């Protein structure tokens, strides 16, 4: 009964969140101040990391970021946007944190040769934030932990108890990985829409992820155990979404000519 009461309390605290651009309803527990945590993490990264002094790199990222931020608009209300380049030429990556904090590693700028490709990446990372994927992952983890506690308390037979826990762990692990792949696909969709509305060609997503696929050659992790969609699936999805995204770009680019 105590375990059931705990679950009911957790569910009572949860709320529903509608993801911008997709309309998907997400189940989220209000357990973390995402904006404060994001700002604190970003400040820590700037202190411990090597912020780029390259004027051209910083101007490029801030210019593209400003247009993406304008396209995001009310999807991230109250954002205090900040765009920082970290001088790590071997790191091909970028990230965004709640509150509008965006970091781009200089290694990514080598692969994202055009502003449209850079906009795709930044839109993707910001899409994770506006969809509140981090908060959803925390919620999933907490609910999985509660389920494990209930199962542990409810099983009295040692043999069946151990078997059930192993099965439960495998099931939860698989579902969390699948959930992460779903988040990556959703961020792809949201990201190309942000880039398109900022006047950047969404078709650059296909060329960029082709380059990233080449960068990642040699990985032995199979697609079903990866936290990212397979290259073929990602490409197919992007091509499927282009009839929606390209008209947004065609309309928006006139403002930036």
> Within a domain: residue 211?
yes
What mean pLDDT comes out for the span 5-33? 76
What's the pLDDT at 244? 97
Of 242 and 144, the structure prediction assigns the larger pLDDT to 242
What's the pLDDT at 155? 52
Q: Give CA–CA dist 114/221, Å, rounded.
A: 29
> Within a domain: residue 1?
no
What mean pLDDT comes out for the span 123-136? 93
In this prediction, residue 166 has a pLDDT band, given cuts at 50, 70 and 90, of: very low
What's the pLDDT at 24? 95
Q: What is the mean pLDDT of the chain?
A: 84
Number of domains in the chain: 1
> Within a domain: residue 139?
yes
Provide the residue range defining the domain that includes 67: 13-256
> Within a domain: residue 150?
yes
In this prediction, residue 156 has a pLDDT band, given cuts at 50, 70 and 90, of: low
Candidate list 117, 125, 140, 186, residue with the active-site label: 125
- HEC-encoded secondary structure of the chain: CHHHHHHHHHHHHCEEEECCCCCCEEEECCCCCHHHHHHHHHHHHHHHCCECCCHHHHHHHHHHHHHHHHHHHHHHCCCCCEEEEECCCCCCCEEEECCCEEEEEHHHHHHCCCHHHHHHHHHHHHHHHHCCHHHHHHHHHHHHHHHHHHHHHHCCCHHHHHHHHHHHHHHHHHHHHHHHHHHHHHHHHHHHHHHHHCCCCCCHHHHHHHHHHHHCCCCCCCHHHCCCCCHHHHHHHHHHHHHHHHHHHHHHHHHHC
Min mean pLDDT across 87-101, 142-156, 179-193 is at 142-156
> Within a domain: residue 2?
no
> Within a domain: residue 191?
yes
> Within a domain: residue 4?
no
CA dihedral 224, 97, 83, 212 (to 10 degrees): 0
Whether residue 246 is predicted with pLDDT greater than 50 in this model: the reply is yes
| Greatest alpha-carbon span in the chain | 71
Whether residue 151 is predicted with pLDDT greater than 70 in this model: the reply is no
Q: Give CA–CA dist 199/193, Å, rounded.
A: 10
Whether residue 231 is predicted with pLDDT greater than 70 in this model: the reply is yes
- Sequence-separated (6 or more) residues with CB below 8 Å from residue 81: 65, 66, 69, 100, 101, 102
> Within a domain: residue 5?
no
User: What percent of the chain is modeled with pLDDT above 70?
Assistant: 75
Of 18 and 171, the structure prediction assigns the larger pLDDT to 18
What mean pLDDT comes out for the span 77-81? 94
Specify whether 125 is catalytic.
Answer: yes
């Amino acid at each position: 009964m105590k375990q059931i009461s705990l679950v009911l309390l957790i569910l009572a605290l949860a709320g529903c969140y509608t993801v911008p651009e997709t309309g998907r309803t997400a189940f989220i527990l209000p357990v973390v101040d995402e904006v404060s945590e994001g700002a604190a993490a970003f400040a820590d990264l700037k202190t411990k990391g090597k912020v780029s002094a390259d004027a051209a790199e910083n101007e490029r990222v801030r210019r593209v970021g400003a247009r993406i931020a304008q396209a995001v608009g009310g999807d991230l209300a109250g954002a205090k946007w900040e765009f920082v380049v970290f001088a790590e030429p071997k790191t091909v990556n970028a990230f965004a944190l709640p509150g509008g904090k965006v970091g781009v590693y200089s290694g990514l700028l080598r692969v994202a040769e055009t502003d449209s490709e850079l906009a795709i990446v930044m839109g993707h990372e910001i899409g994770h934030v506006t969809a509140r994927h981090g908060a959803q992952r925390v919620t999933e983890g907490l609910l999985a932990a509660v389920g494990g506690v209930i199962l542990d308390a409810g099983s009295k037979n040692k043999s069946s108890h151990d078997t059930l826990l192993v099965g439960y762990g495998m099931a939860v692990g698989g579902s969390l990985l699948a959930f992460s792949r779903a988040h990556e696909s959703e961020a792809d969709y949201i990201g190309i829409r942000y880039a398109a509305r900022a006047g950047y060609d969404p078709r650059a997503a296909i060329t960029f992820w082709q380059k990233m696929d080449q960068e990642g050659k040699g990985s032995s992790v199979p697609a079903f155990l990866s936290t990212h969609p397979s290259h073929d699936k990602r490409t197919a999805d992007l091509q499927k979404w282009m009839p929606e995204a390209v008209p947004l770009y065609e309309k928006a680019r006139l403002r930036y000519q």
